[in-house]
């Protein structure tokens, strides 16, 4: 169900974005709301089903808080794919280079998606009462907030906008941690590979020395026998 649920999240996101940017009214607004609630229901059913069929419900619950967040906000579904690839990267260390590249790709993609979503949310909350009057300014604000730069030229004043800002700042710190950990893992792997190659080369040189010494002894013995 991973990919069907991801597609459902993207449909949810499209309806949500269209409703905010186009300010839909009438039957179009009803249609967009219907799509949003239908997608939401799919994620609620998926979460509830997995919670019911698991044997250790409490343990499953606190180990899958991201799944709960996905139920609360279905657009975050792609983050689950990033976590899935990260787990595979830990298990299959032999293919770490390829999987690490995929983790970085999904991290970048998820970050862009979160910036756009946050821009939509803060634009919806602030455009009538705050100083973030356009979607472009909202995306700019989301970008500088998630990178923890925070120029201060735009800022939220509503409770909803500030809640989005808190989530973005936490997401920015997490993003920096993921990138740093991935880079550190790559450096450690390269150093380990180089160390292994150096150790192998030293062993080969030592074996060659032993073989040369053995040949010298053989030649000496043959010369003495003559």
How far is residue 31's CA from residue 51's CA, in Å, rounded to a whole number?
Answer: 30
| Confidence (pLDDT) at 168 | 85
Statement: residue 110 has pLDDT above 70: yes
Contact present, 41 and 79 (Cβ < 8 Å): no
Residues 32 and 124 reside in one and the same domain = no
**Side-chain half-sphere of 212: how many Cα atoms within 13 Å?**
6
> Of the ranges 25-29, 71-75, 206-210, which one carries the lowest mean pLDDT score?
71-75
| Confidence (pLDDT) at 17 | 87
Residues 94 and 181 reside in one and the same domain = yes
| Confidence (pLDDT) at 196 | 62
| Confidence (pLDDT) at 137 | 93
Residues 99 and 55 reside in one and the same domain = no
CB atoms within 10 A of CB 124: 21
Is pTM beyond 0.75 here?
no
Contact present, 67 and 47 (Cβ < 8 Å): yes
Place 139 in a pLDDT band, splitting at 50, 70 and 90.
very high
Q: Is residue 5 part of a domain?
A: yes
> 21, 56, 72 — which closes off a domain?
72
> Of the ranges 15-24, 31-40, 87-96, which one carries the lowest mean pLDDT score?
87-96
Range of the domain at 19: 1-72
Task: List pLDDT tens digits, range 149-206.
Answer: 878 889 999 888 898 888 888 877 777 776 677 667 767 776 666 666 655 566 666 7
Over residues 102-107, mean pLDDT: 67
> 49, 72, 95 — which closes off a domain?
72
Residues 11 and 68 reside in one and the same domain = yes
Residue reference for tokens 């590979």: 193
What DSSP string describes 42-58?
HHHHHHHHHHHH-SSHH
Residues contacting residue 142 through CB under 8 Å, at least 6 positions apart:
114, 115, 116, 118, 119, 122, 168
Place 109 in a pLDDT band, splitting at 50, 70 and 90.
confident
The residue with greater pLDDT, 35 or 101, is: 35
CB atoms within 10 A of CB 74: 24
Statement: residue 90 has pLDDT above 70: no
How far is residue 99's CA from residue 184's CA, in Å, rounded to a whole number?
Answer: 15
């Amino acid at each position: 169900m991973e990919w069907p649920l991801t597609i459902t999240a993207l449909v949810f996101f499209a309806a949500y974005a269209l409703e905010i940017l186009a300010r839909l009214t009438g039957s179009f607004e009803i249609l967009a709301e219907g799509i949003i609630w239908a997608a939401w229901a799919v994620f609620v059913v998926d979460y509830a089903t997995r919670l019911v069929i698991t044997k250790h419900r409490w343990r499953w619950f606190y180990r899958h808080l991201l799944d709960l967040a996905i139920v609360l906000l279905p657009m975050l579904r792609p983050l689950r794919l990033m976590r899935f690839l990260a787990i595979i990267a830990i298990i299959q260390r032999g293919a770490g280079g390829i999987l690490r590249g995929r983790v970085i790709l999904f991290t970048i993609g998820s970050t862009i998606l979160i910036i756009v979503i946050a821009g939509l949310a803060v634009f919806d909350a602030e455009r009538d009462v705050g100083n973030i009057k356009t979607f472009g300014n909202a995306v700019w604000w989301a970008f500088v907030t998630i990178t923890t730069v925070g120029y201060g030229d735009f800022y939220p004043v509503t409770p909803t906008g500030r809640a989005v800002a808190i989530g973005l700042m936490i997401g920015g710190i997490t993003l920096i941690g993921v990138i740093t950990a991935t880079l550190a893992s790559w450096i450690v792997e390269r150093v380990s590979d180089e160390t292994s190659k150096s150790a192998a080369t030293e062993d080969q040189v030592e074996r060659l020395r032993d073989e040369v010494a053995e040949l010298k002894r053989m030649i000496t013995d043959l010369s003495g026998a003559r």
